Amino acid sequence: MALKKVSEKQIDQAIQDLHELAYNLWHSWNPAAQRIFQELSPFFWEDTNHNSVEVMNWISGPELKGRLQNPDFFTRVAAVCKSYRDYMKPKGTWADKHATALKHAPVAYFSAEFGLHESLRIYSGGLGILAGDHAKSASDLGLPLYGISIFYRQGYFRQQTSNEGWQQEFYPTFDPARLPLRPVNDKKGNRIICSVPIGNTNVDFQAWAVGVGRVTLFLLDTNLPQNSQFYRDLSAHVYGGDQVNRIGQEILLGIGGVRLMRKLGINPSIFHMNEGHSAFLTLELLREQLQAKKPLVEAQAFVKKHCVFTTHTPVPAGHDKFDRGLMEAHLGPFASSMGMSIDDMMAYGRVHQESPGEGFTMTVLALKMCRVANGVSELHGRVSQEMWKDLYPDIQVSKVPIGAVTNGVHITGWTSPTASQFWSTQLGPKWIEKFRDGKYWKETLESKKLSDAELWGLRTALRRELVEFARRRLREQNLRHNTNDVAMYDNILSPDVFTIGFARRFATYKRAPLLFRDLGWAIKVLTDKEKPVQIIFAGKAHPRDDAGKHFIQEIINITKRVDLFGRVVFVEDYDINVAKYLVSGADVWLNTPRRPMEACGTSGMKVMMHGGLNLSTMDGWWREAYDGENGWKIGEDTTASSDQLQDDLDAASLRAVLENQVIPLFYDRGKDGIPHNWLKRVRHAMASLVPVFNTDRMVVDYTQKMYLPEGSKRK
């Protein structure tokens, strides 16, 4: 079929649309849109970690015009832009039907980090990814929601490792003009400036807007010339600083976030605190009420009615706590401005009101000032009830008002382009609307229409993509280390070998080296001639977590052993892009947190759409998800009397399950070379997990349990 000639006017429109599209991360969950930017400049697309704005910046007007003269390319651009425009003007979304009460009373979702896309490095780990996926699903569901976070000019650190395997951190500075950010201006086009009180200083901040489909995320930024250098740097790093930096950032996020909403005329009915970092927002809301001459009791009730809180941390040490001196220095004048002494204010963050030595805990503030609170899995909900029971001395632990909403992942955002193409071909483009439908998935996955051969075809394609990605990255890493023969990295790993993925923050409770506790066993199993195994690791340790860095070093030392060379690799600089390759290519996703430290965990959910299987301790989401046949468990659903004992038991269980069940099943092949019994498990895993552990289900849960006003209709 001959394509029609493209008119000048159509081209101008397409150029305008492409510029618009570059600034909306909607493209991060739409492979056809990604392909457009990739095609425009394959080099800059790779080189900038898939940054659409950079690609557009690097292409001249005349070139873009020329490229669009190609009718084939133009047709695809026009189709993508049309689906974007249709998406942005929705009719009949889920929220239109089921959350009408929020239509003119949106949710303001506060999170210290947002993991939306690999080009926007303002996240450190799971908390941020969850916030990003929450925003994407809110957009898909048509839920009126604004995100509030911080523009970290240097983000979280970039990771390299030294020749000795020790983590090195470095911090490139971002230029906002080269990111999918737009300045937040008033109607006249002037930059909006707000301020927050930190001690006796009024610190000014500006804001940037990020389009996340229909949702807007606002990023607060103190890097303004009128601030002292000290305060310009306040928002430089994600969790980078000391206590002084931390409290300043949290004042910016909580108090500043509310002030920005007011300045913009946005009137949220719900303030959702994703973790305690933003809990100072409750004090700002309280101040507003007191300023409007409400009596304290009423003012508090008002704040409580509009705030909801999600806790994420199952250990006391993980909760921000500020001592009285620090609080007085930073919030003393703010307390006075609302007619409070610093001790009055301290009481809001203390478990025991009258204990003068007790610090101010952000989680306590959030719990005292919210309408409902939740943990992020059923077990974590219970652990949180136990942790905070002293706040509710008059009730039983099981009645402590902390519920549970189990996390999910944003399915289309985490489905690789290859897998997405596969499902579209198999099921039609409708699969995107259907993954929440358990019956549909079950029937689809049990139907003969989807053959084992095709499913295996997907697995082998994805495994090769991962192996080649790892080879490329290992080659680059080792060029830096002046390795003489980097060509040998072209042949490490194998697309035919059973592949385990392990990638996450290198917090010690996640126990990355667990598999190597019996090194002799590991060498024997990994290098087996008939049934070999390979493992790809990635992950960052927090800059001040030396124990975590030792774990990285231990893994890197293993990757350098002659007897394991090319079988175990460590890919540096874990981020969303690395995660995407790993979760799609791995046959098994290994997860070894020490129970019950993993509040939920989400990386294992990302393998579902790619035909990967989970092998995990019975912690977080997995103890809810595991049904005996949709993956494997390590150890039991119990906690041992000591960490040492727990580690021994779990390591032994991991070895046994791998050696006796997982590996033999993978290599159990039919005459056609296909592991039919393995694929049976894969089908069952997809059917049972996809409809539940996704953020559409999660955001619906949040809307029904936490966002909708009491008494409004709940379906």
Ligand X SMILES: *Cc1c(COP(=O)(O)O)cnc(C)c1O
Question: What is the nearest approach in angstroms of ligand X to the Cβ of residue 392?
Answer: 29
- Nearer CB in complex with ligand X: 411/455: 411
Question: What is the nearest approach in angstroms of ligand X to the Cβ of residue 548?
Answer: 13
Question: What is the nearest approach in angstroms of ligand X to the Cβ of residue 338?
Answer: 38
Assess contact for 535 and 513: CB atoms under 8 A: no
Task: Give the SS3 label for residue 203.
Answer: strand
Q: What angle do CA 405, 255, 374 make, to 5 degrees?
A: 10
Strand pairing category for 167-170 and 307-310: unpaired
- Nearer CB in complex with ligand X: 133/204: 133
- Nearer CB in complex with ligand X: 579/690: 579
Question: What is the nearest approach in angstroms of ligand X to the Cβ of residue 216?
Answer: 23
Assess contact for 55 and 23: CB atoms under 8 A: no
Question: What is the nearest approach in angstroms of ligand X to the Cβ of residue 387?
Answer: 20
- Nearer CB in complex with ligand X: 31/126: 126
- Nearer CB in complex with ligand X: 279/579: 579
Which tokens belong to 78? 């026009």
Question: What is the nearest approach in angstroms of ligand X to the Cβ of residue 529?
Answer: 33
By residue count, the chain amounts to 715
- Nearer CB in complex with ligand X: 299/605: 605
Which tokens belong to 701? 């849960």
CA 525/CA 659 separation, integer angstroms = 7
- Nearer CB in complex with ligand X: 574/707: 574
User: In b/e form, how buried is each residue of 671-710, taking b as 16+ CB within 10 angstroms?
Assistant: eeebbeebbebbbbbbbbbbbbbbbbbbbbbbbeebbbee
Question: What is the nearest approach in angstroms of ligand X to the Cβ of residue 693?
Answer: 12
CA 334/CA 337 separation, integer angstroms = 5
Assess contact for 44 and 55: CB atoms under 8 A: yes
The verdict on whether omega for the bond into residue 513 sits within 30 degrees of 0, i.e. cis, is no
Question: What is the nearest approach in angstroms of ligand X to the Cβ of residue 689?
Answer: 14
Residues binding ligand X (CB under 6 A): 125-126, 129, 504, 574-576, 579, 601-603
Question: What is the nearest approach in angstroms of ligand X to the Cβ of residue 575?
Answer: 5
- Nearer CB in complex with ligand X: 286/607: 607
Which tokens belong to 498? 């059973």
Q: According to DSSP H, which parts of 369-416 are helical?
A: 378-387, 411-414
- Nearer CB in complex with ligand X: 452/572: 572
CA 598/CA 621 separation, integer angstroms = 9
In sequence order, the 6+-apart residues with CB closer than 8 A to the CB of 630 are 613, 614, 681, 684, 685, 688, 689
In sequence order, the 6+-apart residues with CB closer than 8 A to the CB of 88 are 26, 213, 214
